[in-house]
Chain A
Amino acid sequence: MMQDDKVIVCEKLTKRFGDFVATNEITFDVHKGEIFGFLGANGAGKTTAMRMLCGLSAPSSGKATIAGYDVYTQTEQIKRNIGYMSQKFSLYENLTVLENIEFFGGIYGLSDERIKSKTEELLQRLGLKSEANKLVGSLPLGWKQKLSFSVAVLHEPKIVFLDEPTGGVDPVTRRQFWDMIYEAAHDGITVFVTTHYMDEAEYCNRISIMVDGKMEVLDTPANLKNSFHARSMDEVFYQLARGAKRGD
């Protein structure tokens, strides 16, 4: 692969909280348009790593560039080029669907016409037309998550970070959600996603598995299954994660 094809370059990235090493020298690259799965048991350090990559948390040591920008010094440029969907639903529940879209579009500097056309397109695709003026808090979880994702990619970022986007969502909605992820990847958006569902891991181009803050493996799902002599990703994950000392 070409050097300039890499949108995330990470070298020995580490985050310590006092004595606790949440993320321990992780090194990896992510290519443009790739769907990169980021797996690990609870407390393995996934969210911490993701927050560093988004410029929400300053690394303790190591190097990383996102879309060519440094995570230490250019966090604001990073933020202009990424979308982020946190584990916790974080759109405004006391604003309507339309108001949320308008607000985040405005914050990212989209023009009024652009917000209007994007909103139209988004409501159409999500089938939320009749719910447009409802408060977001009143929507079912599945719709909330799809809306969240759509808002995260509203400004057409280079990379979108998704932290357990399908947690607690029904299988049908999960399937639809992954269709949206594929669509985004098809449009050239790099998708960086964490999940606990191993069937979802199979949808990724490459996956990494974190154990106790370290990145233990990184490969395509097929190669991982081969090297672990496993029939499913479930087994691969189980073999790696049962050795973990950290947990909930």
Chain B
Amino acid sequence: MRTLRFLLRKEFRQIFRDKAIVAMIFFMPMVQLILMPLAADYEVRNINLSVVDHDKSPYSQKLISKIVASGYFRLTGYNASFKEAFGLIESDKADLILEIPHDFERNLIREDHEKLFVAVNAINGTKASLGGSYLGNIIADFNADIRMQLVTPPRFSQFPVIDVVASNWFNPVLNYKVFIVPGILAILVTMVGGFLSALNIVREKEIGTIEQINVTPIRKHIFIIGKLVPFWVLANIVFTIGLLVARFVYGIIPVGSLLTLYAFISVYLLAVLGFGLLVSTFCDTQQQAMFIMFFFMMLFILLGGLFTSIDSMPEWAKLITRVNPVRYMIEVMRMVILKGSSFADILPHVGVVALMAVILNGWAILNYKKTN
């Protein structure tokens, strides 16, 4: 225990003497949490729409202004022919073409039905499909409005209409930030902890100081714990700063208890740091460690359920997410912060992550060799 005290004192001195690390610890969470949620938005806006209006009637004008007024579309072209509009798609100036046929108004009123043509530039898949469906919704809405104006609905509609009304629990107005901020915070803590720990032992190998440590009677597990604890503390600080940013910038106050959140984070960080330490015991240079960590971090983040839902992944990918610590972290963050889950609710998550922590740190201790 006494040895550990000296180790910790040394690590903290070194960390706080390194200006770059201190800056990273305090500014990175703030900057990232403030910038990222504003820029990385699921909602697709600024969809470039080109309209080919063959009808040029009050109704077609009404439809177009309704579309533009939705705020999702930007009218980039008003073309005479589809061919001309298609040129815009080819030169990537338009994402969607809406073609309104001749006699749109007349058919709509007299015949009570009309067809519109929508062409989608599917190069940017998300933008195109979301844009297409937004447009479809707006047109359907427009259609309903027209019918209401033209025909007085009978007391009992002869066609049964099911109107689906969704109410969003835990995030009533579907505030995108409420959803993304806890996720980004989860990734941030993972990155800071993982990279700091992965680079640390390797750094000692590179400078040669590890040799001086290895020739002392220090016990291996004490050495590893001595490396683990400082980064555990730092990552907790980063997490706390992140929670404060979420509170004061986005007004996100965890519905569940902070104690539950910190209890999970404590165990989770042991797993992440253990992973970093394990990587560092395999590497000889910081460059190697960096690349290996990068590889895994990308996997962890992309398969973590922040950007894409795990439920919609193929079965094999779902299997991978089971050994991805980030997945559990993001889930717990959302459960506790948005839903107010209790410790009992997240117990399975804690169990899995604790198991990971034991395996990774145990492996790191085994793999750290004082005698080669």
Chain A residues engaging chain B, CB cutoff 8 angstroms: 54-58, 75-77, 79-80, 82, 84, 86, 88-95, 99, 102-104, 106-109
B7 CB to nearest chain A CB (Å) = 8
A-B contact pairs, 28 of them (CB 8 A): A55-B370, A55-B371, A58-B371, A75-B370, A75-B371, A77-B217, A79-B217, A80-B217, A86-B208, A86-B211, A86-B212, A88-B211, A90-B208, A90-B209, A90-B212, A91-B209, A91-B212, A92-B10, A92-B14, A93-B207, A102-B6, A104-B216, A106-B6, A107-B3, A107-B7, A107-B213, A107-B218, A109-B3
Whether a CB of chain A sits under 8 angstroms from the CB of B91 is no
Tell me if B13 is interfacial: C-beta within 8 Å of chain A.
yes
- Which of B6, B7, B217 is packed against the most chain A CB atoms within 10 Å? B217
Q: Mark B1-21, 1 if CB is under 8 A from A, else 0.
A: 011011101100110011000
Q: Is B166 interfacial (CB 8 A cutoff)?
A: no
Q: Please determine whether B218 and A56 come into contact, CB atoms closer than 8 angstroms.
A: no
Give min CB distance, A192 to chain B, whole Å. Answer: 13
A56 with B214, Cβ < 8 A, contacts A75-B370, A92-B209 known: yes
A106 CB contact (under 8 Å) in B5, B18, B207: B5
Residues of chain B within 8 A (CB-CB) of A56 are 211, 214-215, 370-372
**Nearest neighbor of A58 in chain B, beta-carbon distance:** B371
- B372 contacts which of A57, A88, A92 (Cβ < 8 Å)? A57
Q: Given A82-B215, A103-B10, A108-B216, output 11 extra A-B contacts at Cβ < 8 Å.
A: A56-B370, A58-B371, A58-B372, A75-B370, A86-B211, A88-B211, A91-B209, A94-B14, A94-B17, A106-B2, A107-B216
- Distance in angstroms between the alpha carbons of A57 and B7 in the assembled complex: 24
Closest to B15 in A: A94
Alpha-carbon distance between A86 and B9 when the two chains are bound, in angstroms: 24
From A79, A80, A90, A102, give the contact of B207 (CB < 8 A): A90
Residues of A within 8 A of B18 (CB): 94
Q: What is the CA–CA distance of A192 and B211 in the complex, to the nearest angstrom?
A: 17
Give the interface centre of B3, B13, B211 by most chain A CB atoms within 10 Å.
B211
Majority-rule SS of A interface residues: loop
CA distance in complex: A192, B264 (Å):
52
Task: Give the nearest-CB partner of A92 in chain B.
Answer: B209
How close is B72's CB to chain A, nearest CB, in angstroms? 54
How far is A107 from B219 in the complex, measured between Cα atoms in Å? 10
Looking across the interface, which residue of chain B has its beta carbon closest to that of A93? B207
**Interface residue tally for chain B (C-beta within 8 Å):** 25
Complex CA distance for A106 and B218, rounded to whole angstroms: 10
Which one of A76, A86, A90 lies within 8 Å of B217 (CB-CB)? A76
Say how far B207's CB is from chain A's closest CB, in angstroms: 7
Complex: A77 Cα to B207 Cα, angstroms: 26
- Min CB–CB distance B369 → chain A (angstroms): 9
Q: Which residues of A contact B5 (CB under 8 A)?
A: 106
State which residues 197-215 of B face A: CB under 8 Å.
207-209, 211-215
Given A56-B371, A106-B2, check contact A99 B211 (CB 8 Å). Answer: no
Residues of B within 8 A of A79 (CB): 215-217
Q: Kindly list chain A residues whose C-beta atoms are within 8 Å of the C-beta of B212.
A: 84, 86, 90-91, 104
Nearest CB of chain B from residue A58's CB, rounded to whole Å: 5
Q: How far is the CB of A197 from chain B (nearest CB, A)?
A: 22
A55 to B216, CA, bound (A): 10
- Chain B positions within 8 Å of A88 at CB level: 208, 211
Q: Given the complex, which residues of B lie within 8 Å of A58, measured CB to CB?
A: 371-372
A65 to chain B, nearest CB (A): 16
State how many angstroms separate the Cβ of B11 from the closest Cβ of chain A: 10
User: Roughly how many angstroms separate A55 CA and B217 CA in the complex, as a whole number?
Assistant: 10
* Known contacts A56-B372, A95-B14, A102-B6; is-contact A108 B211 (Cβ 8 Å): no
Question: How many Å lie between the Cα of A191 and that of B3 in the bound state?
Answer: 27
What residues of B have a CB within 8 angstroms of the CB of A89 in the complex? 208
Distance from A61 Cβ to chain B, minimum over Cβ atoms (Å): 16
A52 CB to closest chain B CB (Å) equals 9
The smallest C-beta distance from B16 to any residue of chain A, in angstroms, reads: 10
Q: Smallest CB–CB gap between B223 and chain A, Å?
A: 10
Tell me the complex Cα distance, A53–B120, Å. Answer: 74
Min CB–CB distance A141 → chain B (angstroms): 15
Complex Cα distance, B213 from A95, in Å, reads 15
Bound form: Cα–Cα A233–B27 in Å:
61
Q: Is B2 in contact with A109, judged by CB distance below 8 angstroms?
A: yes
Q: How far is the CA of A106 from the CA of B371 in the complex (A)?
A: 21
Please, which residue of chain B has its CB at the minimum distance from the CB of A161? B215
In the complex, the answer to whether A107 meets B215 with C-beta atoms within 8 Å is: no
Known: A57-B372, A58-B371, A58-B372. A84 touches B6 (CB 8 A): no
Q: Chain B's nearest CB lies how many Å from the CB of A140?
A: 19
- Tell me which residues across on chain A come within 8 A of B10, comparing CB atoms: 92, 95, 99, 103
CB distance from B100 to the nearest CB of A (A): 70
Interchain CA distance A182-B153 in the complex, whole Å: 110
Q: From residue A16, how far is it (CB to closest CB) to chain B in Å?
A: 13
Contacts of B214 in A (CB 8 A): 56
A12→B252 CA distance, assembly (Å): 70
User: Judging by beta carbons under 8 Å apart, are A108 and B14 in contact?
Assistant: no
> How distant is B257 from chain A, measured CB to nearest CB, in Å?
39
B17 to chain A, nearest CB (A): 5
User: Min CB distance, A186 to chain B, in Å?
Assistant: 24
Cα distance A105–B213 when bound, in Å? 12
C-alpha spacing A13/B53, complex, angstroms: 92
Please indicate which of the listed interface residues A76, A80, A104, A107 has the most CB atoms of chain B within 10 Å of its own CB: A107
Alpha-carbon gap, A56 to B205, bound state (A): 13
B213 to chain A, nearest CB (A): 8
Q: In whole angstroms, how far apart are the Cα atoms of A99 and B218 in the complex?
A: 18
Question: In the complex, A58 Cα to B9 Cα: how many Å?
Answer: 31
